[in-house]
Amino acid sequence: MHTAQLQGFFNIPVDHLYASYVFTRHFKKLRDLDLVVVSPDFGGLNTARSYAQNFGAGLAVIDKRRGGHNKAEVMNVIGEVKGKHVLIVDDIVDTAGTIVNTCRKLKELGSGPIHVACTHAILSGNAVENIGTPGLIEEFVVTDSIPLHQKALDSGLVTVISTAEIFGEAILRIHAGESLSVLFR
Model confidence pLDDT, tens digit, residues 42-74: 989 999 999 999 999 999 999 987 766 666 677
Q: Is the full-model pTM beyond 0.75? A: yes
Structural domains of the chain, with CATH: 16-184 (3.40.50.2020)
Q: Choosing from 29, 64, 84, 107, which is the catalytic residue?
A: 64
Model confidence pLDDT, tens digit, residues 124-175: 999 999 999 999 999 999 999 999 999 999 999 999 999 999 999 999 999 9
Neighbours of 34 (CB within 10 A): 11
Question: What's the rounded mean pLDDT across residues 167-184?
Answer: 88
Q: What percent of the chain has pLDDT over 70?
A: 94
pLDDT score, position 109: 97
Is 64 a catalytic site residue? yes
pLDDT score, position 67: 66
